[in-house]
Amino acid sequence: MKARVTIMLKDGVLDPQGEAIRHALGGLGHKDVSGVRQGKLIELDLTATDADAARAEVEAMCKGLLANTVIEKYSIEIA
């Protein structure tokens, strides 16, 4: 199975890298961009065969290491 974890800063948390991207895009002539939030995408290859068990394992990975749950939110896709 494959798992895809998307991690983003929570709403209201300052995103200086996203702001730098927005500023750079403006400098390149893309003036219609009013905000940018950047994040991380992590793809995992799992040996699990049960989707529910895989999701639970990835959830534990997110809480234990992959995401800083104080300032970040995440979503999990299992395929």
The helix/strand/coil state of 56 is helix
Residue 39 — very low, low, confident or very high, per pLDDT cuts 50/70/90? Answer: very high
Closest CA to 44 of 31, 34, 59: 59
- The pLDDT tens digits of the residues spanning 59-75 come to 999 999 999 999 999 99
pTM recorded for the entire structure:
0.90
Distance, in Å, from the CA atom of 21 to the CA atom of 58, rounded to the nearest integer, reads: 30
| Mean pLDDT, the chain, whole residue set | 97
Domains of the chain: 2-78 (3.30.1280.10)
